[in-house]
Amino acid sequence: MRISVEVDGSSYTDDVEPRTLLVHYLREHLGKVGTVVGCDTSNCGACTVLLDGRSVKSCNVLAVQADGRQVTTVEGLAEGDELHPVQRAFHECHALQCGYCTPGMIMQTIDLLSENPDPSEEAIRHGLEGNLCRCTGYHNIVKAVQMAAGSSSSAFEGSTS
Amino acid sequence: MTVTDQPKGGEIGAARRRKEDRRLITGRTRWTDNITLPGMLHVAMVRSPFAHARITSIDAEQAKDAANVVAVVTGADIADEQGTMITAWPITPEQNTPNHPPVAVDEVAFAGEVVAVVVARTAAEARDAAELVEVDYEELPAVLDLKEAVKDEVLAHADLGTNKSAFWQLDSGSAGTGRPIDEVIEEARADGIVIEREYRQQRLIPSFMEPRSAVCDPTGEQITLWSSTQIPHICRFALAATTGVPESKIRVIAPDVGGGFGGKLQIIPEEWIVFCVARRLGRPLKWTETRSESLVSGHHGRDQWQKLTLAATKEGRVTGLKVDLTCDLGAYAGIVGGGVPVLGAWMFNAIYKWDAYQINISNYYTNKTWVDAYRGAGRPEATYAIERLMDELAVEVGVDPLEIRERSWITHEEFPFTTVAGMTYDSGNYEAATARAKELFGYDELRAEQQKRRESNDPVQLGIGVSTFTEMCGLAPSRILGQLNYAAGGWDHAEIRMLATGKVEVVTGTSPHGQGHETAWSQIVADRLGVPFEDVEVLHGDTQIAHRGMDTYGSRSLVVGAEAVVRAADKVIENAKVVAAHMLEASEADLEWSAGRFSVRGTDKGVTIQEVALASFTGHNLFDDAEPTIDATAAFDPDNFSFPHGTHLCAMEVDTETGATSMRKYVAVDDIGTIINPLIVEGQVHGGLMQGIAQALWEEAVYDDAGTLVTGSLVDYTLPTAADTISFETDHTTSPSTYTILGTKGVGEAGTIASTPAVVNAIVDAVRHLGVNDIRMPCTPERVFRAIQSGGVTTEPAQARPHFDADAGNQESLPPEGEAR
């Protein structure tokens, strides 16, 4: 099937097998390997991207479902050397160690903060429940989300386009 | 001039943000699965669904005919060329070790073992075709339960004639490090306290977030293997040793690796398969596992029964401990394999002074996934046992659990202290760490609240758990490894290259996979050489760049690997000093070294080490016979282990009506010696805590009675989420190691080792007044509920478990292993 998708601001048109998952389309067709696969049961959230501005687990979306829509991956957040506020907060708070869950965590955090710009610790913890991290014990991830929430909230409105 | 006396440049101890982060947060990371090579083919594994079976035939015709399939390879096809999987640690010369071919040839010994390999142009086509491979099996009886394996009625490997792998003992009586254990136990039986318990260390799955992946390029002069591994150097050695390919023709690269926790401290059949089949086809190959494959075929951890007899005086001073461990190795002996429980042998005596100690380790094979190192490897198991027992002793004596520990622990004036197990602890201060933890925790206030809830019969009870742990880190002095029959050394290696442009390349033999060595090593070298942090580049994880190394595990990287870096830096300074003296037309004796600069005493003349590097590069003005380089290498072999310690306090709330538990507060005060980067240290502690807490509360690898892993996906193997957990309070006391220049002790495993008993102690403490003195891990609501309901009263005849006092209550009231959690 032929699909046209906008990913991180560039337009792509490709023929894909109907069964192709969005994450495999991103990685194997487009070389967008910043988005990773961590499980096969939609539990880990490592593959989280934004689809028309809302977070989805891209292992749980078919590439054909992204036809005509906009996808934002972790590779599309920074503007040149200028990191996205959530990226900066993860760096500042040491919210990553091996970094494998990080692309998904960052994308889910952007979605969480666009829904709720001033979340409580409990709201953060529940908002990230679908993203697994094995390194950090979540402690510093929660702090990073709090730090990002304290930075300019307008950053999150612009991030999804 | 002595280089070790130089003033600190302020980098060590600074909370530097990590150099590694930039690529990781922008998606520019080099995971093995991201690698794509020209003409690369993809591999899918066909795995046995049976725990124990003979392969009678494999029909690959249909698979070979499938679209874009290039080859289907069976074990029989490559039996003579695939090499073999080896263990580095046969714990006795007599150890029984089964053959472990990468692709099973005749027989499979666990469900998940590879029986055929499909190679196709895409990963999806390889997986599709793998479904078409018809394998006929003759099922064989499987031994699954560890206690059944001991009986040798059903054998995991018929050719071994027994399930027993090896027996290993440490005995203070015969080693001369203490009295005979039996004597001490008899004394306690006559006129003291004897506590007998049996604890279960359930089977866990390391569950690194990046699934394992291997890419092999057989074209070119060297065969290159990229692998998501903790141990590229050990992998290269083992490949050469078992395949006959010269070591110099093999290059192993661990690019960015997404976590390991011991789970990637392994040489894996899939690496051997990709290496062998790529060479056979002359084409680059990639294999990346699914999470389901990972859970069933990557090695598991823990899995022990611990039979314990603690002897103490009436006043509660511990006099001795006897430990009988029965350990499940699964189907094969992994790279550390049977050595994992041995690593715990020196840690049952923990921070305490005893008269006698004996540990008897019996390792067995079963038809389940192999078992090897998982964060802490032997030491969490030991710490769990003793710290649970210390709480039991406190109850017996009727004193606070911190008080009972103080009656037996080594006081800070007594260091260095040689323990009853024969280890010499160099430094520590258990009093200071405990005092700080109590203060942060609000210990007395929480005890008061607990008392109030008891008195008001609150349905939600509060429990306080204590864990005063130590561990041995910095694996390891090669001399000791040799005595323990380990096949390799425990040294590490470093090189420092001073580039003409002033940049400094630090090559380390450690292989980080999330620990932040690039940042921490930069801080160390920046201080040592007096160069800017930003000018230091750390290279690792490629056997052609870091040509010597022993890799990353066992909290060894900072304590061993970075010590090699320090020594290389000191050699660079020595080399540079000679050149600097020539440049400054001064005698070496007149030079002063400070903050990266050599200056002539009493003058303002001087050169920086980076200027010396440039002078060496041009070679225009060197002294006669000078080598035009100031670069240096160093290898470091530690004299001893390091012994971090700490006091952890945990408050758990237990709903006595439902068995639900929730964590109220967790305080960790760790003494890990000198801290290089407090931010990284905190991260290591947090993550370690979570893994130990997860063992206490949530995680268990469960098999059904056919030998199928029931917890075979992340739906069933329940890793903690952000919503399950709380934020921690951490702090440090500092007793520098006396064996290392930097004074560091290692922190990678501390949290995991300490936290499991702290949590279980807290839960038991919350419901002890209801007659409960143990709950088997993971302490799920169901298990907690059942324990409360049965009130700790045994439901089995006492003679079934003669090791126990009949009325002591223990794990008999719990469902057998493998039942619903």
Clarify whether residues A92 and A154 are in a common domain.
yes
Distance from chain centroid for Cα B552: 9
Mark which of A76, A99, A121 sits at the end of a domain: A76
Clarify whether residues A69 and A95 are in a common domain.
no
The mean pLDDT value for B260-288 works out to 98
Are B762 and B697 a contacting pair, CB within 8 Å? no
pTM, full prediction: 0.95
Residues 162 through 221 of chain B touching chain A, CB cutoff 8 Å: 207-211
Reported as a pLDDT band with limits 50, 70 and 90, residue A152 is: low
Clarify whether residues A12 and A35 are in a common domain.
yes
Residue A141 near chain B (CB below 8 Å): yes
Distance (Å) from the alpha carbon of A79 to chain B's nearest alpha carbon: 10
Beta carbon pairs, A and B, within 8 Å: 172
- Structure tokens of B47? 């795995």
Clarify whether residues A66 and A90 are in a common domain.
no
Reported as a pLDDT band with limits 50, 70 and 90, residue B800 is: very low
Reported as a pLDDT band with limits 50, 70 and 90, residue B792 is: low
ipTM: 0.96
Clarify whether residues A69 and A105 are in a common domain.
no
Clarify whether residues A7 and A71 are in a common domain.
yes
Residue B480 scores a pLDDT above 50? yes
The string of pLDDT tens digits covering residues B332-370 is 999 999 999 999 999 999 999 999 999 999 999 999 999
The string of pLDDT tens digits covering residues A46-95 is 999 999 999 999 999 999 999 999 999 999 999 999 999 999 999 999 99
The mean pLDDT value for B394-414 works out to 98
- The DSSP code for B264 is T
Q: Which domains occur in chain B, in start order?
A: 3-28+491-636 (3.30.365.10), 33-377 (3.90.1170.50)
User: Which residues have a Cβ under 8 Å from the Cβ of B627 and sit 6 or more positions away?
Assistant: none
Residue A69 near chain B (CB below 8 Å): no
Polymer length in residues for chain A:
161
Residues of B in contact with A132 (CB under 8 A): 209, 714, 719, 721
Q: What is the mean pLDDT of chain B?
A: 95
Q: What is the spatial distance between Cα B795 and Cα B788, in angstroms, rounded to a whole number?
A: 13
Clarify whether residues A55 and A105 are in a common domain.
no
What CATH number is associated with residue A31? 3.10.20.30
- Which residue type, as a one-letter code, is found at position B348? F
Q: Which of B513, B690, B725 sits opposite A98 (nearest CB)?
A: B513
Percent of chain A topping pLDDT 90: 93
Are B542 and B251 a contacting pair, CB within 8 Å? yes
Clarify whether residues A96 and A145 are in a common domain.
yes
Q: Which of B34, B258, B690 sits opposite A33 (nearest CB)?
A: B34
Residue B29 near chain A (CB below 8 Å): yes
The string of pLDDT tens digits covering residues B125-172 is 999 999 999 999 999 999 999 999 999 999 999 999 999 999 999 999
Q: Give the Cβ contact number of residue B618 at 10 Å.
A: 10
Domain count of chain A? Answer: 2
Clarify whether residues A72 and A90 are in a common domain.
no
Residue B8 scores a pLDDT above 80? no
Q: What is the spatial distance between Cα B605 and Cα B626, in angstroms, rounded to a whole number?
A: 22
Clarify whether residues A127 and A90 are in a common domain.
yes
The string of pLDDT tens digits covering residues B727-751 is 999 999 999 999 999 999 999 999 9
Reported as a pLDDT band with limits 50, 70 and 90, residue B92 is: very high
Q: What is the spatial distance between Cα B687 and Cα B751, in angstroms, rounded to a whole number?
A: 7
Dump strand ranges (E) for B209-337: 213-217, 223-227, 250-253, 285-288, 301-313, 318-328
Chain A interface, best mutation among B21, B226, B511, by max A CB count within 10 A: B21
Residue B513 scores a pLDDT above 90? yes
Nearest-CA residue of chain A relative to B689? A137
Residue B811 scores a pLDDT above 50? no
Residue B819 scores a pLDDT above 60? no
The mean pLDDT value for B632-655 works out to 98
The string of pLDDT tens digits covering residues B205-254 is 999 999 999 999 999 999 999 999 999 999 999 999 999 999 999 999 99
Residue B491 scores a pLDDT above 80? yes
Mark which of A59, A76, A93 sits at the end of a domain: A76
Residues of B in contact with A110 (CB under 8 A): none
Q: Which of B25, B292, B722 sits opposite A91 (nearest CB)?
A: B25
- 3-class DSSP string for B317-356: CEEEEEEEEEEECCCCECCCCCHHHHHCCCCCCCCECCCE
A97–B515 CB contact, under 8 Å:
yes
A129–B721 CB contact, under 8 Å:
yes
Burial class (CB in 10 A: 0-12, 13-18, 19+), B5: exposed
The mean pLDDT value for B318-333 works out to 98
* pLDDT score, position B816: 45
Match 């005893």 to its residue by tokens: B354
Coil, helix or strand at residue A133: coil
Q: What is the mean pLDDT of chain A?
A: 94
Distance (Å) from the alpha carbon of B210 to chain A's nearest alpha carbon: 6
Residue A100 near chain B (CB below 8 Å): yes
Clarify whether residues A40 and A105 are in a common domain.
no
Residue A36 near chain B (CB below 8 Å): yes
Mark which of A28, A53, A76 sits at the end of a domain: A76
User: Which residues have a Cβ under 8 Å from the Cβ of B342 and sit 6 or more positions away?
Assistant: B89, B91, B168, B361, B378, B484
Q: Residue A118 is part of which domain span?
A: 85-158
The string of pLDDT tens digits covering residues B422-459 is 999 999 999 999 999 999 999 999 999 999 999 999 99
- Structure tokens of B813? 């009231």
Residues of B in contact with A129 (CB under 8 A): 721-723
* pLDDT score, position A151: 76
Distance (Å) from the alpha carbon of A67 to chain B's nearest alpha carbon: 21
Q: What is the spatial distance between Cα B656 and Cα B781, in angstroms, rounded to a whole number?
A: 10
DSSP letters along B704-737, please? Answer: -TTS-BSS-STTTS----GGG----EEEE-----
Residue B815 scores a pLDDT above 70? no
Clarify whether residues A102 and A60 are in a common domain.
no
A41–B713 CB contact, under 8 Å:
yes
